[in-house]
């Protein structure tokens, strides 16, 4: 009888210790999101050419015409477009793109920085951004070890591109 009592007390003490440790852990904070470090405010860059020269004026007209034709080719209108947030088991990723002259010129993303995401996302997101700028579409290669991040990024990017369609 004494053995079973000791075993029961030991089991209950162990369970109480485990529950006590679990109860003493601070509640999970809402996931932090990393903000974009790219300027996506939509500010139009000012031309650096001088307006005094007549040749400069014709160059700007040519550049404007080439931008219009580039926009017509790509089917993207100029501006800043935010994709819908795409949620995966580790958090939500939201992509913002800046389109100028029918081309994606800047990409920003918000992403979680808690748990495993703190080590995966800061490495994967810059790679995905560079892939986006190179591909000029949502057809980007997934980052090894960041499958969920890559999938969520692609979904949000496609949403932003859909908003940018002319």
**The dihedral formed by the CA atoms of 116, 152, 95 and 113, expressed in degrees to the nearest 10:** -10
At 86-141, the pLDDT tens digits run: 999 999 999 999 999 999 999 999 999 998 899 999 999 999 999 999 999 999 99
Confidence of residue 25 (pLDDT cuts 50, 70, 90): very low
Given its phi and psi angles, is residue 23 left (phi above 0), alpha (psi -120 to 50 degrees) or beta? alpha
CATH assignment of 50-164?
Answer: 3.90.1010.20
* Alpha-carbon span 83 to 155, nearest angstrom: 8
At 47-69, the pLDDT tens digits run: 333 334 444 444 444 444 444 55
Residue whose token pair is 């389109």: 99
* pTM (global) more than 0.85: no
Residue ranges of domains in the chain = 50-164
Q: Which two tokens stand for residue 133?
A: 């700028």
């Amino acid at each position: 009888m004494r053995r079973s009592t000791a075993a029961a007390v030991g089991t209950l003490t162990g369970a109480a210790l485990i529950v006590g440790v679990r109860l003493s852990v601070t509640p999970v904070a809402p996931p932090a999101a990393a903000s974009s470090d790219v300027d996506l405010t939509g500010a139009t860059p000012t031309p650096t050419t001088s307006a005094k020269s007549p040749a400069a004026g014709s160059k700007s007209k040519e550049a404007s015409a080439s931008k219009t034709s580039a926009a017509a080719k790509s089917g993207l209108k100029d501006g800043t477009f935010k994709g819908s947030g795409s949620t995966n088991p580790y958090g939500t990723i939201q992509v913002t793109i800046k389109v100028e002259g029918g081309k994606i010129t800047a990409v920003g993303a918000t992403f979680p920085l808690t748990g495993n995401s703190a080590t995966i996302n800061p490495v994967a997101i810059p790679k995905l951004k560079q892939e986006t700028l190179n591909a000029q579409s949502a057809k980007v290669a997934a980052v090894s070890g960041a499958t969920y991040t890559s999938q969520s990024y692609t979904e949000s990017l496609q949403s932003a591109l859909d908003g940018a369609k002319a």
